């Protein structure tokens, strides 16, 4: 079925709908530069509320399997691709991407010029968008896109966080409390691999419940949207600073920034993909990292708080990491667990364990 993608500024791209066909879907549109890993991208909770444009032209060639999900379901609002492979070939494949989208009740659009869309977003910035299969009155649809939900300052965390605390792993010598803002499965698996007993708590949990668990360390997860939209999270974190070793990733990094009194702001088109170069200022080593975020901690407000900056993005010099020995935390904006992406930065999970062991002594 024919479909059109309409951007907030009136730009229109014609294509073909796939998956679960609907009259209309809305989201904020961003582009991802990964060449593989579309299943992990689709199930990454950090993409809640967004359309993802894949810059790599062929998507779906190895199908969808049972092992690579990063959450319980597909999280994107829509998927924008150049070419869909309907006959995947891989020994792990269980279904095609089109079949998966029908199963998940999600719609995508294919046969569009993803290169042109990416260039447009790069110049104009991330914006609201809509995919439509009924487009008799295009002008009215442009207005509907303009009036659709703005995820800036909206609480997206409450839509994804677990309702009750649960154990991901009940054996291990190191007790970790995970604050779930939309945590990825591969993060939890990385903690499990390091002999951690992992308990996941809702983002709305109170400080007393976390401390009653008496964790050796506290992990702050990734998640979607604007950190300022979920103020209860960073207010809770502010009361945990200095009590236990803390490690934050992505949204957890931004929440830590707000918890210490720094500021966050929205990037023009964000960082999304598996090829972002990040320099570790402690070692001068450069890692190629996986990233997925639209917001960033402001560098000047961080310097004013006398917090050590540990990592920077070599593309645009934005902050990618910070730490405080006094407050017992460190955090990074990128994803050391990858899923998908390179594994250059998995050493940060080991650093978390080292910090916990030092604190025990």
- What is the set of active-site residues? 250, 335, 337
The helix/strand/coil state of 359 is helix
| Strand (E) or helix (H) holding 97 | helix 97-104
Q: DSSP states of 98-159 as a string?
A: HHHHHHHT-EEEESS-HHHHHHHHHHH-SEEEEEES--S-HHHHHHHHHTSPP-TT---GGG
Q: How far apart are CA 194 and CA 2, in angstroms?
A: 49
Conformational region of residue 221, where left means phi above 0, alpha means psi within -120 to 50, and beta covers everything else: beta
Number of other CB atoms surrounding residue 277 within 10 Å: 14
Q: Please give the backbone phi and psi of residue 84, each rounded to the nearest 5 degrees, phi first.
A: -100, 130
Name, in order, each residue with C-beta under 8 angstroms of 246's C-beta and a sequence gap of 6 or more: 217, 218, 219, 220, 237, 240, 256, 327, 328, 329, 330, 331
Of 91, 80, 82, nearest to 19 (Cα)?
A: 80
- Cβ atoms within 10 Å, residue 167: 10
Q: What are the backbone angles phi and psi of residue 51, rounded to the nearest 5°?
A: -90, 140
Query: DSSP labels for 268-297?
Result: EEEEEEEEEEEEETTTTEEEEEEEEEEEEE
Alpha-carbon distances of 214 from 60, 169, 174, 176, 248, rounded to whole Å? 44, 16, 11, 9, 18
Helices (H) and strands (E) in the chain, counts: 10, 19
Q: Pick the closest to residue 197 from 211, 182, 213 (CA basis).
A: 213
């Amino acid at each position: 079925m024919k479909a059109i993608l309409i951007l907030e500024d009136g730009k229109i791209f014609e294509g073909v709908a796939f998956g679960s066909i609907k009259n209309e879907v809305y989201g904020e549109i961003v582009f991802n530069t990964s060449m593989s890993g579309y299943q992990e991208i689709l199930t990454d909770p950090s993409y809640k509320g967004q359309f993802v444009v894949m810059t790599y032209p062929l998507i779906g060639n190895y199908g969808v399997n049972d092992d690579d999900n990063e959450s319980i379901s597909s999280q994107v609002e829509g998927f924008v691709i150049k070419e869909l492979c309907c006959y995947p070939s891989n020994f792990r494949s269980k279904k095609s991407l089109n079949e998966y989208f029908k199963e998940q009740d999600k719609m995508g659009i294919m046969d569009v010029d993803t290169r042109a869309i990416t260039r447009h977003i790069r110049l104009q910035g991330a914006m609201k968008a809509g995919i439509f299969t009924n487009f008799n009155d295009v002008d009215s649809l442009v207005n509907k896109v303009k009036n659709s939900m703005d995820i800036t300052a909206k609480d997206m965390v409450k839509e994804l966080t677990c309702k009750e605390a649960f154990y991901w792993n009940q054996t291990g010598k190191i007790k970790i409390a995970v604050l779930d803002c939309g945590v990825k499965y591969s993060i939890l698996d990385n903690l499990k691999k390091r002999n951690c007993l992992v308990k996941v708590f809702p983002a709305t949990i109170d400080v007393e419940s976390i401390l009653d668990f008496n964790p050796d360390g506290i992990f702050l997860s990734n998640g979607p949207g604007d950190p300022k939209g979920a103020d209860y999270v960073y207010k809770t974190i502010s009361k945990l600073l200095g009590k236990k070793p803390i490690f934050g990733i992505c949204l957890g990094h931004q929440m830590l920034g707000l918890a210490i009194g720094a500021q966050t702001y929205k990037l023009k088109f964000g960082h999304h993909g598996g090829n972002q170069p990040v320099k570790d200022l402690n070692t001068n080593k450069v890692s190629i990292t996986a990233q997925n975020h639209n917001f960033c901690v402001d560098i000047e407000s961080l310097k004013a708080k006398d917090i050590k900056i540990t990592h920077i993005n070599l593309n645009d010099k934005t902050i990618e990491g910070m730490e405080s020995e006094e407050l017992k935390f460190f955090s990074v904006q990128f994803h050391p667990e990858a899923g998908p992406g390179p594994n250059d930065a998995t050493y940060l999970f080991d650093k978390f364990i080292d910090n916990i062991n030092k604190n025990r002594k």
